[in-house]
Amino acid sequence: MTDPAFDRVVVVVEGQRRELSAAAFLKLPLPERIKHVLGRSIEFYLGPRSVERGDALKSMNQAR
């Protein structure tokens, strides 16, 4: 099992930004995570650096 390629996630809903740790994001119900990914209302970060959505998603599959 490996760590995801991100350490935090920013979810933007109706103009409100919510920052979550990677662990907190992964604990969200799967339908909620899918909604944010498909709605493109999510940004992934590793430290101050933005992580491409595809890379973040691939790393979640590998972290299981």
- Chain segment 12-43, per-residue pLDDT in tens: 988 999 999 999 999 999 999 999 999 999 99
What does the block give as tokens for 23?
Answer: 């662990």
Q: CB of 60 within 8 A of CB of 1?
A: no
Comparison of pLDDT for 3 and 55, the residue scoring more = 55
- The closest of 41, 40, 9, 3 to 25, measured between CA atoms, is 9
Q: How many Cβ atoms are within 10 Å of 42's Cβ, its own excluded?
A: 20
Helix (H) / strand (E) containing 24: helix 22-27
The mean of the pLDDT values for the chain is 90
**What are the φ and ψ backbone dihedral angles of 63, each rounded to 5 degrees?**
-75, -15
Q: How confident is the model at residue 56 (pLDDT cuts 50, 70, 90)?
A: very high
